[in-house]
Structure 1
Amino acid sequence: MEMWRRLGGVWLVVCVVWACHGARVDLHRRVPFSAEVEVEIRNVESPIPWLRRVVRPDSVNHETGEIEFEIPQDVRRLVEESPLKIDLRVIVSVGNEVAQEFPLHQLLDAERPRSDWKTKASQPEGRETHEEFPVREDLAMAAEESPHGPSNEEENNAVGGDTDAPDPFEEIHLLLERGTVRDAVRELEAKRMSSSSPHHASTFLGLLYLAGKGRMFPPDRRRAMELLSEAAHHGDPDAQAILGFLYASGFDPSMVPRDKARAILLWTFAAVEGGSIYAQIAMGFRHLHGIDVKKNCQKAAHYYELAARTVVKEKSRPRYIERHFDEPVILSEEHSTMTRTEHEELVEYFKREAERGDVVSQLNIGEVYYHGAFGVRQDPLEARKLFEKAAEKGLPRAHSHLGYMYLNGLGGLDQNNKSAAKHFKIAADQKDGPGLKGMGYMKLHGIEFAKSEAEAAEYFHEAAKLSKPEREAMYNLGIMYEKGTGVRRDLNKANQYLNAAANYLHAHAMLRVGSSLKKDNCKRSCFLLKRVAEQAALKRSLVTGLAAYEDQDESAALFWYMFAAFAGYRAAQYNAAFLLEKGYGVTHALESSGADMAMDIYQWSARQGNVQSLVRVGDLMYDIRKDFEKAAQMYRQASSKKNAEATFNLGVMYFLGKGVPLDLEMSKRFFEECMELSDQSAKEAYIPSLLALF
């Protein structure tokens, strides 16, 4: 391949050769030793105006002008996977002078060089020229190489629901939770002017203007787009991810037209290059189900693994405290705008009983403060005071909590290994799971006790054998059996313990097992890696969305539910589709496409096994689109999951012969099955089924 360019009155012949990851530019002129050579890859006009990479050459032949360099892997993947054309240019500079400029696609599209062309072999013979999905090794966890210390991922009876790792948009949710929106705007505006990361402040501010909060702070989408575009232009991956959501959803078509291809491009770039967790899980979801991209389980696992590794790295951070969230609320017509939930009443009950000296209530409300459960803000200091009261009365779980807090210097305590060891020993002697786990850690590392890997393994075994086994202990045993630490090396037992810990939703175990299954069992791999990845972000979006809905701020509720839905969160998808279907919070610009979008999102949720979504898709197919066969298919799937409403509807369809053959015997069977079901929905369907049988 040849290109000609006039430079300093001299015609130069440029040969560009691509071999594996390497590329060579032959300037056919001498390059002074004192001159700095730089290769820049940037766009001319494309949907990503901020794309720019500066590459240092691997080698420069100063006599002949041959320059060899590597094309960045993220740039290569972005160009190859993008549904839109990206016009990237390669600019070679010698000193301050542009020596050559040519399109990047000529490198990527080039055929293998002829035998008389020189090439650079960047891989040994027999190896593939590049990895399709390179894993970022800098994110490899040290925790995967050695057993864990006592973590506060522990499950307990007092606190239910799910857990999370830090949400990249946590700051916004906390500001909204406090209700001081205008103060938040002033604070973020000040950060934009003075902080070392003004573009991240612009992203947060843009998100705030997108969502709004009630009548006191209505959305300002125009201002939001200005801020997000500015931050994205300067490379903020979260801003790029949010713009991807806006293009994917067409949330406000008057500002951002729906453009799925552009959304995929933005998310690909933010996920691969910027490390945006939102973009990674959004792309994982789309590749897993073939939404707007070709279905590809391996790529889905790759994206979910990127996000999962970030989550696990954060969970391994010292002083990290796990947060617990309640199970997501599924919206319905009957959902009231309640001011006092059952959980709030339960918290008030625990507080009253704790003040009266009830030791179990002191522990329970302490755990609520410790983990920030039931809508209560995390307060380790208040939790520590309650644990101390419960520990004085001999409650072993309180001693376990205090052991962890002393070990990590939490709750206003100075780090103190001696006090940590004392509390862990008291709890372990009473066979408390976290206490046994804590003692195992102390023995394993010789903290305040003589180091003994064998005794550590014994403590972990005890904790793993409890009626409510400690998942952290199971994970540690998996690592110890894998490496022969304190036990005889046994890979079968290692796999058993690691899989058991993964089944108990231990994040590190799910990451290890999920990563190992990508080739042999990709579906299971995606399930595990997705569960880890989704601990990272957007659970707060569901909480904020519900709070907005109960405050009758339907616009904000729709935004937060849609924001989580487009990343693949199943519960958020049902709620977003419900709001769209009912027209709650829907702007005039979105009104025309709202119903179709509701159907799409219901189907996403149905693909993930949400029974309510299966029924709702069936209803819409039956009532609106008159696609009775599709409706019967949806009802049949929901009925197989023991949903009474779907079972009743199938009985009606067989009775009428709509979408299925007319069959009175089958109709009778479904009505009888509906009566036998014992879930809540069946109570409502009992009388109609009984009447239908008569």
Structure 2
Amino acid sequence: MKLPRLTLLATLMLTAPAAAQLQIAPPVTTPSAPAEKPKPRPHTITKKKEAAPAPKPSASPKPAVSPKPALPATVIPAPATDTPGIDLVFGAYQRGQYKTAFDLAAERAKAGDPKAMTMLGELYSNAMGIRRDYGKALEWYKHAADAGDREAMFALAMMRMSGRGGPVDKPEAVKLMASAAKLGEPKAAYNLALLYLDGQTLPQDVRRSAELLRQAADAGLPEAQYALATFYKEGTGVPKDLDKAVRLLQAASLADNVDAEVEYAIALFNGTGTPKNQPAAVAMLRKASRQGSAIAQNRLAWVLINGMGTSVDKVEGFKWHLVAKTAGKGDPELDKQFSDLPAEDRAKAEAAAKKWLGTK
């Protein structure tokens, strides 16, 4: 099986493999079908490089498309306590009071608090309350990592991997990532899994990749839950198990992972690996559409225009079709249906789409 090549980015997360989309078919075709070849989905804070395509599943009469980029993730140091149940540094950070967080963390770091050291690294790295200084960020992360802080190990690993604050050192980055993963850092386990999947920095080992994804998924990381769901759906590194895939999609959906919401909605709509619940599926497609998923917008357009699992609303449906089309998720069949729409309804749909896109 040819697996996707992943793009290493100068940030705190790598890219993740995208799952093949389940299908909401138009009324003239079967209601559930396999999907077209998916593409790797980026998962990053900064700009991405082009990624190679993922393995091709079986063909579909109406293929689905790959998900949009997932939401970014950063290292936020876990709180340590100044007084029982209270962490002044972490509280200031959460409220956006970065200068206060910096001043408090600096005092605690002098006293040897590794969490405070990690906080200083985070603030220097992201220019929060202080001028960005990768060199100082690297220094503080290293102090904290040497003191056993797993978040600092992960952040330091990503800086070594990307060359921020010093030369690229992938072997050191992998060593730090593995140490952080052993200490239970889910983002480290997730990224290490992707390195094993990619097969460039580390020898390709899909079984080890699946084990690490399971560790991160069990810790509640939505990105790992989504990625592991694709493994179970395709039988990559684990036995194929659609039921487990859908349960993982559900868990990631509850954590607001948009890509998982789209796939779980489609599974609910078709009753694939879960009892069919089309009203719930449509509600989830609406949510993902409002969150900007062009795939969800396209599927929502289909169900609204054709009254599939909900009442017919052609104006609203074609609004979402036009919105999805601006994101590159056009649909020739819906274009044809739109051209047949009465002029008054076309104008309403176009106005609604422009309002949504902010171009009116």
TM-score by length of 1: 0.27
Structure that is richer in strand per residue: 1
Normalised by the length of structure 2, the TM-score is: 0.49
Higher Rg of the two aligned structures: 1
